[in-house]
Amino acid sequence: MVNPERFLSTIEFGSVPTLEPGVLVIGGGIAGLAAALAAAEHSDVMLVTKDVFQESNTYYAQGGIAAAMAVGDSPEDHLNDTLVAGAGLCDREAVRVLVEEGVSCCRELIDWDMPFDKVGDEIAFTREGGHGCRRVIHADGDATGKVIVATMLDRVRNHPNIRMLDKHFVIDLLHFEGECYGALMMDSAYGRMLKVEAGATIVATGGLGRIFRETTNPEVATGDGFALCFRAGATLRDMEFVQFHPTTLYLPGAPRFLISEAVRGEGAHLLNLSGERFMKKYTEQGELAPRDVVSQSIFKELNATGTTHVNLDLRHIDDGLIDERFPNIKEICANYGIDIKTEYIPVRPSVHYMMGGVKTDTNGFTGIERLYAVGEVASTGVHGANRLASNSLLEGLVFGKRAGLASANVGADHHKFPPRSIARHTFGKTVPLDIEDVVRSLKALTWRDLGVYRDGPKLQEAEKSIASWERYIIPEQFQARGGFEIQNMITTAKVMVRAALIRTESRGAHQRIDYPDTDPQWEHHAELSVREFME
């Protein structure tokens, strides 16, 4: 049984130091930074990350930000492309907010001296899969995320109403009877507890790629925010829709480094190991199909040819364009002995992005009083069953700002976590536990059973395995970040497996071998909360 009080019931709060900001923001990617900056115009803000501030999915983002700013483009065209990619599950109103307010948010970045790449005096645009035109703006070629973080962090550090706290791991949200009062966290360096009682709390913790064996995500992406909000009583929505990026570097021993969608947008070809372009066998859109289609096509080709990877061919692209647009990709590949101007890049899909998450409205409100979620951890409904390329950074800007403004108003009415006597509980006999082995086992399970293709019997076995792990992985065994992370990973994986079992169809990024067709009756969201897992 999942017990939402499980962590909090082991803590004696009287001895824990307390801080009381108006708004607590958990996470330092683009959504958290946008939320903190917006909230700080009306409230004092504490911004917390579990690692250094540069360590986030945003920092490693390559492609850019999709925004209808080019001549001949329009928010309506952007909306339509997003709806098509989302395979019937996008919420139109949320998408409209995204594409309309996204333009002004990007112009605000420009006002903050964000150095987007230009052609002459005009901002440069590129095209990515699923977009009907060149709509994606970028910086430093293929280092857009790094430049965004630097630009926004500079403003955060210089804002008088924002206090920054890094290397603090949030153990759990402080919640009671449907209301959130802040969070309990631990100083990762010294193991000291800290209680933050906030008028409003914004969870912006990013993704969950590290639950899987192969992912583009950094080490911090262990699904913490999904588990935190789930235990607090929030609803998780569409957790079956995890996006695989079609092209990540595939070399023995090398990390699954992302090869940006923009590479194909600039004309790169996908080839099988016989040197044949194969994408047109599976879709008329070829290499510029949405990510779910490209990833599924690659796996079909791998199965058909009995190979481990395909090749990405840039050899026909102008050398100057490669130098200008993809300097980071060129350098990383060169470190592994690949000259992308003259040689193929071996690639295959890896886990990249969670389209589902904590159910919110367009202001980031979760349904739990004073609790908001933004960015990849949230489900606003803009991505549906498959995220349109480069909409994620835009989502972080737009909904981060909205949640920041909404939470600042709530945070002004500050009040404390209700005093109560909390008894220590014993959940059973502790046993020796190799955390690293549990993590490896979980990653193998999710990669095998929650991959690009799923089927019912394997999902049922996965659910049993996760349930057995839960019985002996208990809070008293952990005094460090890694132990708490594995609990979050297991909780999040359990919800994902259940969601994948429930959706008995194939749609977007969710493909069931035993239910290969798209079912019109399933054109709705799948929602799960802690109540569905109580015995």
Q: What is the pLDDT of residue 470?
A: 82
pLDDT above 90 (res 234): yes
- 494-511 tens-digit pLDDT: 999 999 999 999 999 999
What is the pLDDT at residue 432?
A: 63
Instruction: Give the per-residue pLDDT at 59.
Output: 80
**What does the alpha-carbon distance between residue 496 and residue 515 come to, in Å, rounded to a whole number?**
17
Say which of 291, 370, 387, 512 is annotated catalytic: 291
pLDDT > 80? residue 471: no
Residue entry with tokens 């008293």: 476
The domain spans of the chain are 246-349, 435-533
Given a cut of 60, whether residue 11 has pLDDT beyond it is no
pLDDT at site 253 = 80
Going from the C-alpha of 276 to that of each of 153, 281, 313, the distances in angstroms are 45, 11, 11
Instruction: Tell me the one-letter amino acid at 241.
Output: F
CATH architecture of the domain 246-349 equals: Alpha-Beta Complex (3.90)
CATH fold, domain 435-533, is: Methane Monooxygenase Hydroxylase; Chain G, domain 1 (1.20.58)
The CA distance from 134 to 64, in Å, is 12
Say yes or no to pLDDT of 425 above 60.
Answer: no
Share of the chain above pLDDT 90, in %: 74
Place of tokens 């969601």: 499
In this model, does residue 304 exceed pLDDT 60? Answer: yes
Residues 15-57: tens digit of each pLDDT = 788 899 999 999 999 999 999 999 999 999 999 999 988 888 8
Question: Does the annotation mark 291 as catalytic?
Answer: yes
pLDDT at position 458 over 80: yes
Q: In the chain, pLDDT over 70 holds for what percent of residues? A: 93
- pLDDT average, residue stretch 207-217: 94
pLDDT higher than threshold 60 for residue 297: yes
pLDDT digits (tens, 9 = 90+) for 259-290: 988 899 889 999 999 999 999 999 999 998 88
Identity at 289, one-letter amino acid code = A
| Class of residue 237 by CB neighbours under 10 A (exposed 0-12, middle 13-18, buried 19+) | buried
SS3 content of the chain, % helix, strand, coil (to 5): 40, 20, 45
Amino acid at 132: G
For 353-393, how does the pLDDT look when each residue is reduced to its tens digit (9 = 90+)? 999 999 999 999 999 999 999 999 999 999 999 999 899 99
